[in-house]
Structure 1
């Protein structure tokens, strides 16, 4: 179907599709925040690793050992099971989000658009664009 057939969708279908699109777009934004979180956490850990070396070089073995033994191997979240006693690292959180919730909701969004709108995306925006263009032509 071409864009001209968007009118075949009911108003509630357009609204529902729009909400699904907004949800998927917001999950992509959340994914970006998780990537930034992962990178920032990695940079912080690099700084802690450098601090460990410098504390050790300055003769502060106890503090250096605490960094080495308690903080550097530790995850950013507590463990969800007994297999990862040190906790979950930021890459694990990111990968889990990507492979589960994000992937599942994106697939759902594609499926619902295929079933309801023959795969067309942004049907509400296309409808608004047509209305605004028609309104602009009518005021000339």
Structure 2
């Protein structure tokens, strides 16, 4: 069952004159940026987990004092609590440096390439892959979100 809603929307159709090689290259660039997004998420996890551990050290210091171990409490307080994770850096500084030095320039370059080479249309590689893998007429293989069929198992009211 095909109709005017069959196939990708305009934002996911290849502009005229854009080659297969360009679509593939932009797909690869997008995949690399997506992987960088994941790496950045892990960096934020590292940042938050390290910060949570550092805040828990306050409790450990207090409990060591209460347990009668003031020397250990002082060692933890002065030698671990608030310590740089790498020379001169807390984790927020690592995140900031990553964003400024690597993530933002990468993101801007990827966006610029998509703008210039594909008329600003994202995910052309994936959209074309989806089209090639869809089963025409199958209710769970629709091309677009707005073409999703009515709920199954009864009449559409």
TM-score calculated relative to the size of structure 2: 0.72
Q: What is the CA RMSD across the aligned residues, in angstroms? A: 1.9
Q: State the shift of 1:4 in Å.
A: 3.9
2:53 equivalent in structure 1: 44
* Alignment length (residue pairs): 127
1:93 equivalent in structure 2: 94
1:28 equivalent in structure 2: 37
Contact 2:54 2:82 in 1 (8 A): no
Q: Unaligned stretches of 5+ in structure 2?
A: 1-9, 138-157
Higher CA-based Rg: 2
TM-score calculated relative to the size of structure 1: 0.80
- Provide the rounded CA distance (Å) in 2 between the counterparts of 1:104 and 1:45: 31
Contact 2:13 2:124 in 1 (8 A): no
Query: Over residues 106-127 of structure 1, what are the superposed CA-to-partner deviations in whole Å (9 max), with x where a residue is unaligned?
Result: 0010011111111111111122
User: Is 1:56 matched with 2:68?
Assistant: no
TM superposition outliers: structure 1 runs of 4+ over 4 Å: none
- Provide the rounded CA distance (Å) in 2 between the counterparts of 1:44 and 1:4: 48
1:1-140 alignment runs, 5 A limit = 2=10, 3-6=12-15, 8-77=17-86, 79=87, 87-133=88-134, 136-137=135-136
Q: Which one has a larger percent helix, Structure 1 or Structure 2?
A: 1
- Provide the rounded CA distance (Å) in 2 between the counterparts of 1:116 and 1:137: 30
Q: Unaligned stretches of 5+ in structure 1?
A: 80-86
